[in-house]
Structure 1
Amino acid sequence: MEITITAAAANKIAEKIGEQSGYLKLKYDTEGCGCAVDGVAALWFVSEVEDTDIAIDTNNRTIYLEKSKMVFFDEKMTIDFSTSLNRFQLKSPQQILNGQLSFIIKENKD
């Protein structure tokens, strides 16, 4: 899998996380979607990664994905930031996977 982060997206990610330490995760979020195959891609900033997460090196920073959810993503993807929409976007050469990609900073479970 290959993920590219555009300069606009990298700048917005850095702005949102500031000095916090943690990990960027591309999540296939199924909460409230009805079943495990209905979901939506989202960017999560988490304090810890799970044992089942796979690290994907990008041109900017490592992104983690749940191994079991990789089937829902394309082989080549780009994370971009649209200034006109003020939203992140997840794209591939074949399609727009999420034109309004959420960015969520997850709180510690402690």
Structure 2
Amino acid sequence: MQINITEAAIEKINDRTVGRKGFLKLKYDTDGCGCAVNGVITLWFVPVLDQDDLAIETNDRPVYVEKAKTVFLDDEMKIDFSQTANCFQLKSPQQILNGRMSLMIKEKTD
């Protein structure tokens, strides 16, 4: 699996995570979607990783994905930022996986 992060997306990620320690993660979110195969891929910034997260090297920083959810991702993807829509986008040569992604900042809870 290969992920490229555009310069526009890198800039927005850095702006929104400045001063925070954590990891960029593509999360397959099924909350409110019915069942485990009905979900949407979202972009999270998390303080800790889950045991089953896999690191995918990119042109900027590793992006983590849940091992069991890699089936929902394409082999070649790009994380972009749309100035017009003011949101992140996850695309592949075959499809738009999520055209309106927010960057969810998850805080550490003790």
Distance 2:50 2:95 in 1: 28
Deviation digits for residues 3-27 of structure 1, max 9, x if unmatched? Answer: 0000000000000001100000000
Distance 1:109 1:41 in 2: 23
Q: Which amino acid aligns with 2:87?
A: R
Distance 1:102 1:38 in 2: 19
Q: Which amino acid aligns with 1:108?
A: K
**Identical-pair percentage:** 58
Q: Which runs of 4+ in 1 moved over 6 A?
A: none
Give yes or no for the alignment of 1:26 onto 2:26.
Answer: yes
Distance 1:54 1:3 in 2: 13
Backbone CA RMSD of aligned residues: 0.6
Q: Residue 31 of structure 1: CA displacement?
A: 1.1
Q: Residue 85 of structure 1: CA displacement?
A: 0.5
Q: Which amino acid aligns with 2:88?
A: F
TM-score, length of structure 1 as denominator length? 0.98
Distance 2:102 2:34 in 1: 19
Aligned residues: 110
Consecutive unaligned residues of structure 1, counting only runs of 5 or more, are none
TM-score, length of structure 2 as denominator length? 0.98
Consecutive unaligned residues of structure 2, counting only runs of 5 or more, are none
Q: Residue 102 of structure 1: CA displacement?
A: 2.0
Deviation digits for residues 7-63 of structure 1, max 9, x if unmatched? Answer: 000000000001100000000111111100000010000000011000001000100
**Corresponding residue for 1:45?**
45
Distance 1:41 1:93 in 2: 16
Distance 2:73 2:60 in 1: 19
